[in-house]
Homo-oligomer: A and B are copies of this chain.
């Protein structure tokens, strides 16, 4: 499933880029480690990165489980929606946290489909092979 592998790697690279932005903001706004607050822009970039970490722990296993029980190409497609959604989410969060909803939804929806698909697929497999 090279398509799923590529999407997974791109999602991790996107996360690394979000991390770079947090690092730059540390220097730019003088938020010295170990502090993670004290400047509004830094805090927005930091929350974008942290929330993306929370998303990845679901997305990565979800991509592979959905691939196993349904279809790797569909999984990869859902992963692409996630990637685009995360860019929208990050851009809108930094501009105005109150407007992060639509981008968040665009990343949350594929995650939920992947995970629910995994449960349904695995249970169906157990029933069919029982």
Contact = CB atoms under 8 A, between A and B. Distances in A.
A111 B13 CA distance: 10
A8 B61 contact: yes
Contacts of A93: 33-34
A53 interface: yes
Nearest to A13: B115
A21 interface: no
A57 to B, nearest CB: 5
A116 B122 CA distance: 27
Interface string A1-41: 01101101110110110010000000000001111100010
A54 B19 contact: yes
A112 B28 CA distance: 24
